[in-house]
Chains A and B, each alone.
Chain A
Amino acid sequence: MKKYLKAFSMIVSFFLMLVMLGGCGGSNNDSDGAKQQEENKNEVVTIKHWVWLDNPNDPTFSQLVKEFNDTHPNINVEVEVIGWNDFHTKLLSSVTGGSGPDTSSFKLTWQPEFIGQDALLPLDDYLNGWAGKADVVDNLWDVMKYSDGKHYVMPWELQVLYMYYRPSMFKAAGIEKVPETWDEFLKAAQKLTKDTNGDGKIDQYGFAMRGARGGHEPWASFVLASVPGNAFFDAGGNCTLDTPEAIKANEFFLDLYKKYKVVPPTAPADGFNEIIANFKSGKAAMVVHHIKSSNGMIEQFGDDVDAFPVPAGPQGRWTSLGDTENVIYKSTKHPKEAFTFISWLSEKEQLLRWDKATGNVPVLKSLQEDEYFKNNRFMKASFDSMPFAHIYPINENMGEWIESLWPAVTQQALEGKITSEEMMKKLAEGMVKK
């Protein structure tokens, strides 16, 4: 009898649990329906927009959104600012789970994950009717075309990587002009690497190398400048990273640390903060980054900082294009209003204010002609770099490749634990694995 009672009460407990769980689900559906009804009544369409901001204290974005809401009485954009570090993960898991926003900021490299699950709305039909389409910088529509021939993104922000340098240090080292090729770069770096206070220790280095996460972008400028076609894949679709030219160019990169010692000894562990600190403290005379660092550099050095496009190799130049776009998710109930919002953000007036506030390179040709941008030496370096600016390949291996494979094998190669060839084989394998 005792046993039965025990079993019985356990069953009762179990059913109680089920009822409680079921109750939760039911109430959710109800509130959804109520929401829908309410929306129809007021006829104001709500667009949920997710964005990350490089400077969360800058009110420009929320001011723009407020203006949009004021001038578009039938649309109410609700913005959620999410930190960059969590943005991708949170976006991906919310969209996969069906609770994502209507629109959001986006990176081109994320396309496979989202298009793979049919979450993004193709924008071609809307874009064809958009007045600003022809004003977008040449080639950008090509760069942003997905492999199925459709466009899923609305261009918004651009940055191009170039070389920052300190004119005063160049002068002190007797360097007359900025390096045009990687060989000249090495010579300059050797002259710049020296002991400045006479204590017998090197305290100034030529170049702030980034060997930790994120270093793959400047690194590719060294490697792809030696690869015919300046691309990660050749015409036959084979990865070029393990070709002899790429391996040799990579060896040059590694030797900056191993053999010539023209980069700080901390290079394998240096990430973004460290290379910028090295440059700003005068520990390094050159560093690769984009225009968003320029305000901080000017604050620090005034006129004693300038920029030039990354040097060329035997096969030309390659630099990395940074991008942020806006996208619409298929799950939205109001695609038309969503497009009104994201295209408004990329229109000339809004873009001018946004690019001035954030220091981005304008995506519109008419803005690049604007005096404000023309007279800026860092904008000039960016525009000069545009013709050979490209993005990294877009495929589902790249998340791991960028975040863990590249730093790990580069650090091993810098320490001499593996050869340049082994490093490049691993990188090529990691890029194409199925």
Chain B
Amino acid sequence: MAEKMMVVDDARVVRVSLGKIMQSLGFEVIACEDGQQAMQAILENPDVRLIMLDWHMPVMNGYDFLVRLREMPEHSSSPLVVMVTTEASMPSMMKALSAGADEYIMKPFDASLIKSKLDLLGVAYKE
């Protein structure tokens, strides 16, 4: 059965493009538009393996979502979280990793970059 993953981004174009890449790699994709939707989705799908998370979003941003997620005992280390963001500075990267992100992608991305990060995380995918 396909593993579940979440794409959380307020930009539809990113949800679609990243969602397509992840589907082509064999994942079942749950798309959310902000951190609050993502919080609801993780409660309904506690078996999600991986979250690709934007930083700047309305309602609840990605960083705040990450902090809250990691505060939940059952999610202190899973699912894996990859920030996918235009925040391309060293301090932002350090802040996200300190808050419990497992990897970090600075936009723009392509399929090979996504795959190289999945390799680093030891997440299997369909070639």
A is bound by B? no
Residues of B with Cβ closer than 8 Å to A?
A: none
